[in-house]
Amino acid sequence: MVRPLLAFGALLGIAVSAVRAQYEIDEMFSTTWNSSKVVEYSNPAIKFVPGPALTQSVNSTATTPDVVGIKVLDKQVHQKVDKIGAGITDAASIVLQAFKEAHPDDYWTLLHLLFSQDPEWVQRGGAGLNAVRSPLGASDFGLAPYSYDDVFDGSTDPQFKLFTIDKAPKLWQTLQDIIKVNPNVKTYFAPWSQPGWMKADYPGSQPLFGGHLIDGYEDLMAQYLVKAMVAIRDEKGIQPYSLSVQNEPFYDSSHYPTSRSNPSQLAKLGIATRRRLDEAGFKDIQLLGLDHNWDHPQEVLDMFDMSRDDTWDGVAYHGYAGDPRTQIQFTDAYEDKSVHFTEYTTVTQNFNEPWPNLKEKSTKILFKSVRYKSESIILWNACLQVDEDGFTTPHLLNVCQNCLAPIHLQPNATNGNATAALADPSGSKMRTLGMADGTATANGTTAPAAAAAAPAPADSKRTHKQRRRALTPHSITPRANAVPAAVAQSVNATTPKPVNQAPFQQSSYYKRTSDFSFLSHVSLAVRPRVAGGQYGRLIGTSSTEKPAPNDDGSTPDPVAGRVLASLFRSDNVDPSNAELSRFSLVLLNQNDHYGTQNMEDITVTIAFRGTVANVTLGVGLYTMSWLANKTSDLPESA
């Protein structure tokens, strides 16, 4: 009896080894630190072989690179990450519509590059975005300040007789074009300011710039927000997905639309908005709180504590200040609420682009905010135009003039100067250059087809500073109050022009920046590749890189080391095999010797279910994936 058992055990060992050896990295997308590879596809065919996980990192020698171990803890399954996108502002839509007019075929190719979910665009290096965020009214990125209900004689309009969303026709057209490319795109909305007649204590003559909502006007503002949701759906054929009651409510500026608030007022506004949304049939619109930076951990808790349990669906964070670990305080207090990352941008100058920007965003958002339960990643402007001096446009004066966007249109991408804008020192009025017919102006009217040119002021100075900003996110399914059929038919009436399916080469009209690379990697790691597939869930990993202790004795940030890693598991990748999943590992090799430009390769030993695979990577961002059954009977220590 002993011999058969031994024989069976030997056979079992062979069988287990065979199973362990079947995994193979069959996809890799590479972005090098200097963007010599923007998002380049390859099939490295790297097989996992039986072997133990690396237990500690190994430093380089004269002939071998550093070695770092990453272990997959695939029994640790966390939140689904299923919303990746960027902002469609007035600025982005102005330059995109000008590009469409000048080069329509290239415009549709660009939209496919950004938003198409078609499998062929994966290998072409497409970003596969499925979310956009737009201001309700003006933000700092546009040509003029406006709201959807402006008065200019000192009166009020509580009946909303002047209400219209038609002051931003290019924004709505751009969103409609995006929906033609990706009908499932999620649309998020947030106001930068209330209408001026609802505000008090603004510092200058422009009521949209700074100040705050008048106490007692919370329900009026809620009505305003719901009227916007109804108009966007019924008039523009766009289904709202999520709403925030105020962008960055703890900040105001005298240079662009903002409005300061406090937790008590935000709670009242949230309660009123949720009630009004439900009454209008928008029970599925996700209402998000905060929509501001990590440096307001107590304010967001106070706001939620003062609200009804059913007021807020989740919280939205921005990345301009604070520590991502403050998200833990929120999730500990409100486990049933969702967490979102909704806005961030960096600057293009001071040698930040591409590598420092790519490293910072990857670390701050993917490896930290997502680690602390964010389920969405949305950056700021999706597209801006670069002027002859290398600054990004259009925008109001005295705001960020060198903010990064995933796509930078070059000066030759549009006919003439379609984006230049000037404002008087008070910020109360805007004079525009080359504004196309139908673009909003300061007095709430529209500019004529040929606006008169005006010289730039001699004292108009460029600044090199970064700015802060905000958003809202969550989820919707078709329902009774869906987009009216006639409007939906109009939105989808024009089929986008066919696009070339050859591997994408850099266009002479626009440049893909590090923001594009970053969003592409996250999207590639989480988005489904087949109909019925699931967006990826964050899976646990451990690293042989350990954070150094802080000098003050405080707990060190656990996200540290020469290599950072995030792993996602996408299920239902094969209609014929419900158990098969795709595991996608995003790796950042930041072995640049603390920014000294001494870029050093690293070999990463990936441990997965009793097998290991070795991958040697240059400094940069990489996404690699393999197929495996969703679950394993092996113990976590295997």
Residue 17, classed as helix, strand or coil, is: helix
What Rg do the C-alpha atoms of the chain give, in angstroms? Answer: 25
Quick check: 146 and 444 in contact, CB under 8 A? Answer: yes
Q: H or E segment at 625? A: strand 620-629
Q: What is the average pLDDT across 140-156?
A: 96
Categorize the per-residue pLDDT at 613 as very low, low, confident or very high, splitting at 50, 70 and 90: very high
Out of 275-284, 389-398, 439-448, 560-569, pick the least confident: 439-448
Structure tokens at 463: 């600044």
Enumerate the β-bridge partners of residue 25.
46, 626
Out of 150-164, 228-242, 453-467, 610-624, pick the least confident: 453-467
Quote the CA–CA distance of 316 and 339 in Å, as a whole number: 6
Neighbours of 101 (CB within 10 A): 13
Q: pLDDT at residue 495 above 90?
A: no
Amino acid in the structure at residue 99: F
Residue 267, classed as helix, strand or coil, is: helix
Quote the CA–CA distance of 137 and 257 in Å, as a whole number: 9
Per-residue confidence (pLDDT) for residue 323, from 0 to 100? 97
Rounded mean pLDDT of the chain? 86
298 Cβ partners below 8 Å, 6+ apart? none
633 Cβ partners below 8 Å, 6+ apart? none
Whether the ω angle into residue 354 lies within 30 degrees of 0, i.e. cis, is yes
Residues 33, 39, 40, CA angle at the centre, nearest 5°? Answer: 105
Per-residue confidence (pLDDT) for residue 490, from 0 to 100? 58
Residue 28, classed as helix, strand or coil, is: strand
Whether the ω angle into residue 203 lies within 30 degrees of 0, i.e. cis, is no
**Residue with the larger pLDDT of the pair 526 and 424:** 526
CA distances from 42 to 45, 122, 199, 625 (A): 9, 11, 55, 11
**Burial of 74: CB neighbours in 10 Å, binned 0-12, 13-18, 19+:** buried
Q: What is the average pLDDT across 491-517?
A: 73
Per-residue confidence (pLDDT) for residue 483, from 0 to 100? 67
Per-residue confidence (pLDDT) for residue 349, from 0 to 100? 79
Q: pLDDT at residue 472 above 70?
A: no
Q: Which domains does the chain have, with CATH numbers?
A: 2-80+536-629 (2.60.40.1180), 98-491 (3.20.20.80)
Categorize the per-residue pLDDT at 543 as very low, low, confident or very high, splitting at 50, 70 and 90: very high
Structure tokens at 480: 């009774």
Quote the CA–CA distance of 145 and 143 in Å, as a whole number: 7
Structure tokens at 318: 């921005």
Per-residue confidence (pLDDT) for residue 173, from 0 to 100? 99
Q: What is the average pLDDT across 385-413?
A: 95
Tell me which residue of 353, 357, 439 sits closest to 394, measured CA to CA: 439
Out of 38-52, 148-162, 165-179, 438-452, pick the least confident: 438-452
Per-residue confidence (pLDDT) for residue 464, from 0 to 100? 33
First to last CA, the chain: 29
588 Cβ partners below 8 Å, 6+ apart? 359, 362, 363, 367, 563, 564, 565, 620, 621, 622
Q: What are phi and psi of 562, to 5 degrees?
A: -70, -25
Quote the CA–CA distance of 362 and 344 in Å, as a whole number: 12
Q: H or E segment at 622? A: strand 620-629
Quote the CA–CA distance of 518 and 270 in Å, as a whole number: 33
Percent of the chain with pLDDT over 90: 74
Per-residue confidence (pLDDT) for residue 181, from 0 to 100? 97
Q: What are phi and psi of 90, to 5 degrees?
A: -55, -45
Quote the CA–CA distance of 70 and 54 in Å, as a whole number: 8
Categorize the per-residue pLDDT at 484 as very low, low, confident or very high, splitting at 50, 70 and 90: low
The DSSP line for 215-261 is TT-HHHHHHHHHHHHHHHHHHH-----EEES-SSTT---SSSS--B-
Q: What is the dihedral of CA 298, 299, 305, 311, to 10 degrees?
A: -140
CA distances from 498 to 104, 181, 468 (A): 11, 11, 38
370 Cβ partners below 8 Å, 6+ apart? 81, 341, 377, 538, 566
CA distances from 636 to 8, 24, 451, 542, 608 (A): 24, 20, 67, 12, 10
Per-residue confidence (pLDDT) for residue 549, from 0 to 100? 79
Q: Write the pLDDT tens digit of every residue in 16-53.
A: 444 444 899 999 999 999 999 999 999 999 999 999 99
Q: pLDDT at residue 9 above 60?
A: no
Quick check: 543 and 565 in contact, CB under 8 A? Answer: yes
Q: What is the average pLDDT across 340-354?
A: 92
Quote the CA–CA distance of 504 and 500 in Å, as a whole number: 9
Per-residue confidence (pLDDT) for residue 461, from 0 to 100? 32
Per-residue confidence (pLDDT) for residue 485, from 0 to 100? 57
Q: pLDDT at residue 552 above 90?
A: no
Largest Cα–Cα separation, the chain: 100
Q: pLDDT at residue 204 above 60?
A: yes
Per-residue confidence (pLDDT) for residue 120, from 0 to 100? 86
**Burial of 198: CB neighbours in 10 Å, binned 0-12, 13-18, 19+:** buried
